[in-house]
Amino acid sequence: MERYHRHHHRSRRHRRSLDRSHEDHLNTGQFSRFRHESEYKGRRHRRRRRSKTSSSESQEDKKGLIDFRKGEKIDNRYEIVCVAGQGTFGTVLECLDHEHGMERVAVKAVRSVERYLDAASIEIEILQFLSAKDTHNKSLCVRLLSWFSARHHHREHVFLVFEYLGRDLYTFMKRNGHHGFSLDHVRSFARQLLQAVQFCHSVKLCHTDLKPENVLLCSSDYTVCQVSSRRIPVSTDIRLIDFGGATFENERHSRTIATRQYRAPEVILGLPWSYPSDIWSLGCIFVELLTGELLFNTHEDLEHLALMEHVLQQPFSTSLVSRALEPYRNEAGGGVSKDNKPRSRRSRRSSESRAIDLFSVSQKRLRWPENASSPSSVNHVKSYPALGELVPDPLFCDLVSKMLRFERDERLTALEALNHPFFLSSEEEAVEDKI
Protein backbone atom coordinates (compact mmCIF):
# COMPACT_ATOMS: atom_id res chain seq x y z
CA MET A 1 0.00 0.00 0.00
CA GLU A 2 1.12 3.50 -0.79
CA ARG A 3 0.91 6.07 1.94
CA TYR A 4 -0.16 9.65 1.48
CA HIS A 5 -0.50 12.64 3.75
CA ARG A 6 -2.89 15.53 3.35
CA HIS A 7 -3.99 18.40 5.56
CA HIS A 8 -7.41 19.97 5.74
CA HIS A 9 -9.51 21.79 8.31
CA ARG A 10 -13.06 22.87 7.79
CA SER A 11 -15.47 25.01 9.72
CA ARG A 12 -19.06 26.08 9.13
CA ARG A 13 -21.11 29.20 8.89
CA HIS A 14 -21.84 31.76 11.57
CA ARG A 15 -24.26 29.71 13.68
CA ARG A 16 -21.84 26.88 14.39
CA SER A 17 -18.30 25.84 15.16
CA LEU A 18 -15.87 24.24 17.65
CA ASP A 19 -14.38 23.95 21.36
CA ARG A 20 -11.88 24.85 24.23
CA SER A 21 -9.77 27.63 25.75
CA HIS A 22 -6.64 27.61 27.91
CA GLU A 23 -5.47 31.21 27.64
CA ASP A 24 -8.22 33.79 27.26
CA HIS A 25 -11.57 34.29 28.93
CA LEU A 26 -14.66 35.64 27.25
CA ASN A 27 -15.17 39.32 27.83
CA THR A 28 -18.93 39.41 27.51
CA GLY A 29 -18.84 43.17 27.10
CA GLN A 30 -16.84 42.85 23.89
CA PHE A 31 -19.60 41.00 22.07
CA SER A 32 -23.37 41.19 22.12
CA ARG A 33 -25.15 37.85 22.54
CA PHE A 34 -27.28 37.42 19.48
CA ARG A 35 -28.89 34.42 17.77
CA HIS A 36 -29.49 34.30 14.05
CA GLU A 37 -32.35 32.12 12.86
CA SER A 38 -31.67 30.87 9.38
CA GLU A 39 -32.40 27.69 7.48
CA TYR A 40 -29.27 25.59 7.34
CA LYS A 41 -28.18 24.98 3.79
CA GLY A 42 -26.29 21.90 2.68
CA ARG A 43 -23.22 22.50 0.54
CA ARG A 44 -22.81 19.22 -1.22
CA HIS A 45 -22.84 18.99 -4.96
CA ARG A 46 -25.45 16.27 -4.59
CA ARG A 47 -27.73 18.68 -2.81
CA ARG A 48 -27.47 21.85 -4.80
CA ARG A 49 -25.75 23.35 -7.76
CA ARG A 50 -23.84 26.48 -7.01
CA SER A 51 -25.70 29.42 -8.50
CA LYS A 52 -23.99 32.17 -10.45
CA THR A 53 -23.49 35.39 -8.52
CA SER A 54 -23.29 38.95 -9.73
CA SER A 55 -20.19 41.05 -9.22
CA SER A 56 -21.95 43.00 -6.47
CA GLU A 57 -22.79 39.76 -4.66
CA SER A 58 -19.19 38.63 -5.02
CA GLN A 59 -18.02 41.87 -3.43
CA GLU A 60 -20.48 41.36 -0.58
CA ASP A 61 -19.18 37.82 -0.08
CA LYS A 62 -15.68 39.25 0.37
CA LYS A 63 -16.76 41.90 2.87
CA GLY A 64 -14.91 41.67 6.15
CA LEU A 65 -12.63 38.80 5.10
CA ILE A 66 -9.05 38.82 6.32
CA ASP A 67 -6.34 40.01 3.94
CA PHE A 68 -3.33 37.77 4.41
CA ARG A 69 -0.12 36.54 2.81
CA LYS A 70 1.88 33.37 3.37
CA GLY A 71 4.62 33.85 5.93
CA GLU A 72 2.95 36.76 7.69
CA LYS A 73 2.36 36.59 11.42
CA ILE A 74 -0.94 37.20 13.16
CA ASP A 75 -0.58 38.92 16.53
CA ASN A 76 3.19 38.52 16.08
CA ARG A 77 2.80 34.84 16.93
CA TYR A 78 0.93 32.72 14.39
CA GLU A 79 2.79 32.33 11.09
CA ILE A 80 0.42 31.78 8.15
CA VAL A 81 1.16 28.65 6.11
CA CYS A 82 -1.90 28.43 3.87
CA VAL A 83 -5.69 28.57 3.73
CA ALA A 84 -7.21 25.48 5.33
CA GLY A 85 -10.83 26.41 4.67
CA GLN A 86 -13.14 29.28 3.85
CA GLY A 87 -16.84 29.94 4.30
CA THR A 88 -19.42 32.60 5.06
CA PHE A 89 -18.03 32.88 8.62
CA GLY A 90 -14.55 33.85 7.46
CA THR A 91 -11.30 32.03 6.81
CA VAL A 92 -9.51 29.14 8.53
CA LEU A 93 -5.74 29.41 8.22
CA GLU A 94 -3.12 26.76 8.81
CA CYS A 95 -0.55 28.43 11.04
CA LEU A 96 2.58 27.71 13.04
CA ASP A 97 2.58 28.84 16.67
CA HIS A 98 5.95 30.49 17.36
CA GLU A 99 5.36 30.48 21.12
CA HIS A 100 4.69 26.74 21.32
CA GLY A 101 7.52 25.13 19.40
CA MET A 102 6.10 25.87 15.94
CA GLU A 103 3.07 23.72 16.72
CA ARG A 104 0.63 23.50 13.82
CA VAL A 105 -2.75 25.09 14.64
CA ALA A 106 -5.91 26.13 12.81
CA VAL A 107 -6.70 29.83 13.21
CA LYS A 108 -10.22 30.90 12.38
CA ALA A 109 -10.33 34.56 11.30
CA VAL A 110 -13.91 35.72 11.76
CA ARG A 111 -15.25 38.16 9.19
CA SER A 112 -15.36 41.72 10.47
CA VAL A 113 -19.12 41.92 10.02
CA GLU A 114 -21.42 42.42 12.99
CA ARG A 115 -23.52 39.29 12.59
CA TYR A 116 -20.46 37.05 12.35
CA LEU A 117 -18.81 38.72 15.33
CA ASP A 118 -22.03 38.23 17.31
CA ALA A 119 -22.04 34.57 16.32
CA ALA A 120 -18.39 34.23 17.33
CA SER A 121 -19.24 35.40 20.84
CA ILE A 122 -21.80 32.60 21.12
CA GLU A 123 -19.33 30.07 19.78
CA ILE A 124 -16.63 31.09 22.24
CA GLU A 125 -19.06 31.06 25.13
CA ILE A 126 -20.21 27.52 24.33
CA LEU A 127 -16.70 26.20 23.73
CA GLN A 128 -15.41 27.58 27.01
CA PHE A 129 -18.39 26.09 28.81
CA LEU A 130 -17.66 22.68 27.28
CA SER A 131 -13.98 23.02 28.15
CA ALA A 132 -14.81 23.68 31.79
CA LYS A 133 -17.02 20.59 31.89
CA ASP A 134 -14.52 18.38 30.05
CA THR A 135 -12.11 18.09 32.97
CA HIS A 136 -10.48 14.89 31.66
CA ASN A 137 -10.29 16.00 28.01
CA LYS A 138 -12.32 12.98 26.89
CA SER A 139 -15.33 14.66 25.29
CA LEU A 140 -14.03 14.17 21.71
CA CYS A 141 -15.15 17.73 20.98
CA VAL A 142 -12.62 19.89 19.17
CA ARG A 143 -10.37 21.98 21.44
CA LEU A 144 -10.37 25.76 21.32
CA LEU A 145 -6.85 26.68 22.42
CA SER A 146 -7.37 30.43 22.67
CA TRP A 147 -9.08 33.42 21.14
CA PHE A 148 -8.05 37.03 20.73
CA SER A 149 -8.83 40.24 18.90
CA ALA A 150 -6.08 41.84 16.83
CA ARG A 151 -5.54 44.28 13.99
CA HIS A 152 -4.28 42.75 10.75
CA HIS A 153 -3.75 44.86 7.62
CA HIS A 154 -5.56 47.84 9.15
CA ARG A 155 -8.65 45.84 10.08
CA GLU A 156 -9.69 44.47 13.46
CA HIS A 157 -10.50 40.74 13.47
CA VAL A 158 -11.49 38.17 16.05
CA PHE A 159 -9.36 35.02 15.87
CA LEU A 160 -10.13 31.58 17.30
CA VAL A 161 -7.21 29.15 17.63
CA PHE A 162 -7.98 25.43 17.42
CA GLU A 163 -6.04 22.21 17.52
CA TYR A 164 -5.09 21.25 13.99
CA LEU A 165 -7.14 18.39 12.57
CA GLY A 166 -7.62 16.51 9.32
CA ARG A 167 -10.38 16.35 6.73
CA ASP A 168 -14.05 16.10 7.55
CA LEU A 169 -15.68 12.73 6.90
CA TYR A 170 -17.78 14.00 4.01
CA THR A 171 -14.75 15.33 2.15
CA PHE A 172 -12.91 12.06 2.73
CA MET A 173 -15.82 10.10 1.21
CA LYS A 174 -16.17 12.59 -1.66
CA ARG A 175 -12.49 12.24 -2.58
CA ASN A 176 -12.95 8.49 -2.33
CA GLY A 177 -15.55 8.44 -5.09
CA HIS A 178 -18.42 8.71 -2.58
CA HIS A 179 -17.62 5.27 -1.23
CA GLY A 180 -18.39 4.64 2.42
CA PHE A 181 -16.16 3.18 5.10
CA SER A 182 -15.78 -0.40 6.24
CA LEU A 183 -18.17 -1.61 8.94
CA ASP A 184 -15.34 -1.69 11.49
CA HIS A 185 -14.43 1.92 10.70
CA VAL A 186 -18.09 2.93 10.91
CA ARG A 187 -18.31 1.21 14.29
CA SER A 188 -15.36 3.26 15.54
CA PHE A 189 -16.74 6.53 14.16
CA ALA A 190 -20.21 5.80 15.54
CA ARG A 191 -18.93 4.98 19.01
CA GLN A 192 -16.90 8.20 19.20
CA LEU A 193 -19.76 10.33 17.89
CA LEU A 194 -22.13 8.87 20.45
CA GLN A 195 -19.58 9.57 23.18
CA ALA A 196 -19.25 13.20 22.06
CA VAL A 197 -23.01 13.67 21.83
CA GLN A 198 -23.55 11.92 25.17
CA PHE A 199 -21.14 14.42 26.71
CA CYS A 200 -23.04 17.35 25.19
CA HIS A 201 -26.40 15.99 26.34
CA SER A 202 -25.05 15.35 29.84
CA VAL A 203 -24.35 19.08 30.18
CA LYS A 204 -27.82 19.95 28.80
CA LEU A 205 -26.62 20.96 25.33
CA CYS A 206 -28.06 19.96 21.94
CA HIS A 207 -25.61 20.19 19.06
CA THR A 208 -28.41 20.76 16.47
CA ASP A 209 -26.26 20.42 13.34
CA LEU A 210 -24.75 16.95 13.29
CA LYS A 211 -23.54 15.78 9.87
CA PRO A 212 -20.37 14.30 8.31
CA GLU A 213 -19.03 17.78 7.45
CA ASN A 214 -18.90 18.55 11.16
CA VAL A 215 -16.84 15.49 12.05
CA LEU A 216 -13.10 15.83 11.47
CA LEU A 217 -10.51 13.11 11.32
CA CYS A 218 -7.65 13.81 13.71
CA SER A 219 -5.26 12.95 10.89
CA SER A 220 -5.67 13.11 7.12
CA ASP A 221 -3.15 10.29 6.63
CA TYR A 222 -4.46 7.43 4.50
CA THR A 223 -3.29 4.38 2.62
CA VAL A 224 -4.54 3.20 -0.78
CA CYS A 225 -5.90 -0.29 -1.26
CA GLN A 226 -4.14 -1.81 -4.30
CA VAL A 227 -7.21 -3.86 -5.23
CA SER A 228 -9.97 -1.24 -5.07
CA SER A 229 -7.80 1.92 -5.21
CA ARG A 230 -9.86 3.27 -2.34
CA ARG A 231 -8.37 5.43 0.37
CA ILE A 232 -8.33 3.98 3.86
CA PRO A 233 -7.79 6.31 6.84
CA VAL A 234 -4.74 5.40 8.90
CA SER A 235 -6.56 6.41 12.08
CA THR A 236 -10.28 6.54 12.87
CA ASP A 237 -9.84 9.09 15.68
CA ILE A 238 -12.26 11.97 15.18
CA ARG A 239 -13.43 15.23 16.76
CA LEU A 240 -16.87 16.82 16.71
CA ILE A 241 -16.92 20.47 15.60
CA ASP A 242 -19.31 23.34 14.90
CA PHE A 243 -21.00 24.29 18.16
CA GLY A 244 -22.04 27.79 17.10
CA GLY A 245 -25.67 26.68 16.71
CA ALA A 246 -25.75 24.48 19.81
CA THR A 247 -28.68 25.16 22.12
CA PHE A 248 -28.97 24.67 25.87
CA GLU A 249 -32.01 22.94 27.30
CA ASN A 250 -33.26 26.11 29.02
CA GLU A 251 -32.74 28.38 25.98
CA ARG A 252 -35.38 29.34 23.47
CA HIS A 253 -35.44 26.69 20.75
CA SER A 254 -35.50 27.90 17.13
CA ARG A 255 -38.19 26.37 14.97
CA THR A 256 -35.78 25.01 12.38
CA ILE A 257 -32.52 23.26 13.20
CA ALA A 258 -30.14 20.88 11.45
CA THR A 259 -29.19 20.60 7.80
CA ARG A 260 -32.13 19.35 5.75
CA GLN A 261 -31.04 15.76 5.14
CA TYR A 262 -30.33 15.13 8.85
CA ARG A 263 -33.45 16.87 10.19
CA ALA A 264 -35.73 14.88 12.50
CA PRO A 265 -39.46 14.55 11.72
CA GLU A 266 -40.52 16.56 14.78
CA VAL A 267 -38.48 19.51 13.49
CA ILE A 268 -40.07 19.32 10.04
CA LEU A 269 -43.53 19.15 11.64
CA GLY A 270 -42.93 22.11 13.93
CA LEU A 271 -43.18 20.00 17.10
CA PRO A 272 -40.96 20.45 20.18
CA TRP A 273 -37.46 19.10 19.74
CA SER A 274 -34.68 18.18 22.13
CA TYR A 275 -31.82 15.68 22.53
CA PRO A 276 -33.57 12.96 20.44
CA SER A 277 -33.27 15.23 17.40
CA ASP A 278 -29.49 14.85 17.64
CA ILE A 279 -29.94 11.08 17.84
CA TRP A 280 -31.97 11.11 14.62
CA SER A 281 -29.18 13.03 12.88
CA LEU A 282 -26.63 10.49 14.10
CA GLY A 283 -28.72 7.64 12.71
CA CYS A 284 -28.68 9.31 9.29
CA ILE A 285 -24.94 9.88 9.54
CA PHE A 286 -24.17 6.27 10.49
CA VAL A 287 -25.90 4.91 7.38
CA GLU A 288 -24.18 7.49 5.17
CA LEU A 289 -20.76 6.56 6.54
CA LEU A 290 -21.43 2.96 5.49
CA THR A 291 -22.93 3.61 2.06
CA GLY A 292 -21.22 6.86 1.09
CA GLU A 293 -24.58 8.36 0.13
CA LEU A 294 -27.22 10.45 1.88
CA LEU A 295 -29.84 8.37 3.65
CA PHE A 296 -32.53 10.93 2.75
CA ASN A 297 -31.47 12.73 -0.43
CA THR A 298 -34.14 15.39 -0.76
CA HIS A 299 -34.79 19.13 -0.76
CA GLU A 300 -38.45 19.40 0.27
CA ASP A 301 -40.55 18.47 3.28
CA LEU A 302 -43.22 16.26 1.71
CA GLU A 303 -40.74 14.18 -0.26
CA HIS A 304 -38.53 13.98 2.83
CA LEU A 305 -41.35 12.55 4.95
CA ALA A 306 -42.32 10.15 2.16
CA LEU A 307 -38.73 8.91 2.03
CA MET A 308 -38.80 8.34 5.78
CA GLU A 309 -41.93 6.19 5.52
CA HIS A 310 -40.52 4.28 2.56
CA VAL A 311 -37.02 3.66 3.92
CA LEU A 312 -38.19 2.78 7.43
CA GLN A 313 -41.13 0.78 6.10
CA GLN A 314 -43.78 2.30 8.35
CA PRO A 315 -46.29 5.18 8.26
CA PHE A 316 -46.38 8.06 10.69
CA SER A 317 -48.67 7.27 13.61
CA THR A 318 -52.05 8.99 13.85
CA SER A 319 -50.94 10.26 17.25
CA LEU A 320 -47.92 12.06 15.79
CA VAL A 321 -49.97 13.45 12.90
CA SER A 322 -52.68 14.70 15.28
CA ARG A 323 -50.13 16.56 17.40
CA ALA A 324 -48.64 18.17 14.30
CA LEU A 325 -52.09 19.28 13.09
CA GLU A 326 -53.29 20.56 16.47
CA PRO A 327 -52.10 24.18 16.01
CA TYR A 328 -54.21 24.50 12.84
CA ARG A 329 -57.47 23.19 14.27
CA ASN A 330 -59.00 26.62 14.90
CA GLU A 331 -56.77 28.67 12.66
CA ALA A 332 -58.45 31.83 11.39
CA GLY A 333 -58.18 32.70 7.74
CA GLY A 334 -56.49 29.46 6.82
CA GLY A 335 -57.02 25.94 7.99
CA VAL A 336 -58.78 23.33 5.89
CA SER A 337 -61.49 23.79 3.27
CA LYS A 338 -64.46 21.49 2.70
CA ASP A 339 -62.52 19.47 0.15
CA ASN A 340 -59.91 18.74 2.84
CA LYS A 341 -57.21 20.77 1.11
CA PRO A 342 -55.11 23.34 2.94
CA ARG A 343 -56.03 26.93 2.15
CA SER A 344 -52.66 28.35 3.00
CA ARG A 345 -49.85 26.47 1.30
CA ARG A 346 -46.81 27.87 3.05
CA SER A 347 -45.63 29.40 6.27
CA ARG A 348 -43.84 32.74 6.35
CA ARG A 349 -40.66 31.09 5.20
CA SER A 350 -41.25 29.45 1.85
CA SER A 351 -38.76 26.68 2.58
CA GLU A 352 -40.95 25.40 5.41
CA SER A 353 -44.19 23.51 4.88
CA ARG A 354 -47.02 23.54 7.38
CA ALA A 355 -48.38 20.30 8.78
CA ILE A 356 -51.71 20.84 7.01
CA ASP A 357 -49.80 20.97 3.73
CA LEU A 358 -48.26 17.61 4.50
CA PHE A 359 -51.01 15.50 6.04
CA SER A 360 -54.63 14.72 5.27
CA VAL A 361 -56.65 16.06 8.19
CA SER A 362 -59.45 13.51 7.93
CA GLN A 363 -57.31 10.45 7.15
CA LYS A 364 -54.31 11.37 9.33
CA ARG A 365 -51.90 10.25 6.65
CA LEU A 366 -49.22 11.81 4.49
CA ARG A 367 -50.54 13.56 1.37
CA TRP A 368 -48.44 11.29 -0.78
CA PRO A 369 -48.21 10.65 -3.68
CA GLU A 370 -51.14 12.89 -4.67
CA ASN A 371 -49.39 16.09 -3.55
CA ALA A 372 -45.94 15.18 -4.84
CA SER A 373 -44.24 18.04 -6.65
CA SER A 374 -43.65 15.91 -9.77
CA PRO A 375 -43.79 12.34 -11.13
CA SER A 376 -40.00 12.21 -10.85
CA SER A 377 -40.32 12.88 -7.12
CA VAL A 378 -42.66 9.89 -6.78
CA ASN A 379 -40.23 7.72 -8.73
CA HIS A 380 -37.34 8.98 -6.62
CA VAL A 381 -39.04 7.75 -3.46
CA LYS A 382 -40.10 4.44 -5.04
CA SER A 383 -36.55 3.72 -6.18
CA TYR A 384 -35.13 4.01 -2.67
CA PRO A 385 -34.07 0.78 -0.94
CA ALA A 386 -35.39 0.00 2.52
CA LEU A 387 -33.13 0.37 5.55
CA GLY A 388 -32.55 -3.39 5.73
CA GLU A 389 -31.14 -3.35 2.20
CA LEU A 390 -28.90 -0.38 2.90
CA VAL A 391 -27.61 -1.85 6.16
CA PRO A 392 -27.21 -5.62 5.77
CA ASP A 393 -25.51 -6.17 9.13
CA PRO A 394 -28.38 -7.13 11.49
CA LEU A 395 -26.92 -5.56 14.65
CA PHE A 396 -26.05 -2.31 12.90
CA CYS A 397 -29.48 -2.19 11.27
CA ASP A 398 -31.14 -2.75 14.64
CA LEU A 399 -29.12 0.07 16.21
CA VAL A 400 -29.93 2.55 13.45
CA SER A 401 -33.61 1.62 13.34
CA LYS A 402 -33.89 2.35 17.06
CA MET A 403 -32.26 5.75 16.52
CA LEU A 404 -34.67 6.55 13.69
CA ARG A 405 -37.98 6.08 15.45
CA PHE A 406 -40.60 8.62 14.38
CA GLU A 407 -41.64 9.24 17.98
CA ARG A 408 -38.74 11.08 19.57
CA ASP A 409 -39.35 9.57 23.02
CA GLU A 410 -38.95 6.07 21.56
CA ARG A 411 -35.44 6.69 20.23
CA LEU A 412 -32.39 5.41 22.03
CA THR A 413 -30.47 7.91 24.10
CA ALA A 414 -26.78 8.31 23.32
CA LEU A 415 -25.90 6.26 26.39
CA GLU A 416 -28.35 3.50 25.49
CA ALA A 417 -26.95 3.39 21.96
CA LEU A 418 -23.40 3.03 23.31
CA ASN A 419 -24.55 -0.06 25.17
CA HIS A 420 -26.14 -1.62 22.08
CA PRO A 421 -24.76 -5.08 21.13
CA PHE A 422 -23.32 -3.59 17.93
CA PHE A 423 -20.59 -1.99 20.07
CA LEU A 424 -20.16 -4.72 22.64
CA SER A 425 -17.99 -7.85 22.62
CA SER A 426 -16.66 -10.25 25.24
CA GLU A 427 -13.64 -7.97 25.73
CA GLU A 428 -15.65 -4.76 26.12
CA GLU A 429 -17.75 -3.62 29.02
CA ALA A 430 -20.91 -1.59 28.83
CA VAL A 431 -20.36 2.14 28.78
CA GLU A 432 -21.11 3.83 32.07
CA ASP A 433 -22.33 7.37 32.43
CA LYS A 434 -19.06 8.77 33.78
CA ILE A 435 -18.99 12.05 31.96
List, by residue number, the catalytic residues.
Answer: 209
Asked if 420 and 198 count as a contact pair (C-beta separation under 8 A), the reply is no
Work out the angle between the directed axes of helices 275-291 and 394-403 (0-180°, nearest 10).
150
Asked if 161 and 106 count as a contact pair (C-beta separation under 8 A), the reply is yes
Work out the angle between the directed axes of helices 394-403 and 183-202 (0-180°, nearest 10).
30
Asked if 333 and 388 count as a contact pair (C-beta separation under 8 A), the reply is no
- Amino acid present at 238: I
Taking alpha carbons only, the member of 362, 365, 429, 422 closest to residue 393 is 422
> Pairing between strand 73-74 and 78-87?
antiparallel
What are the C-alpha distances in Å from 402 to residues 149, 258, 275, 279, 412?
45, 20, 15, 10, 6
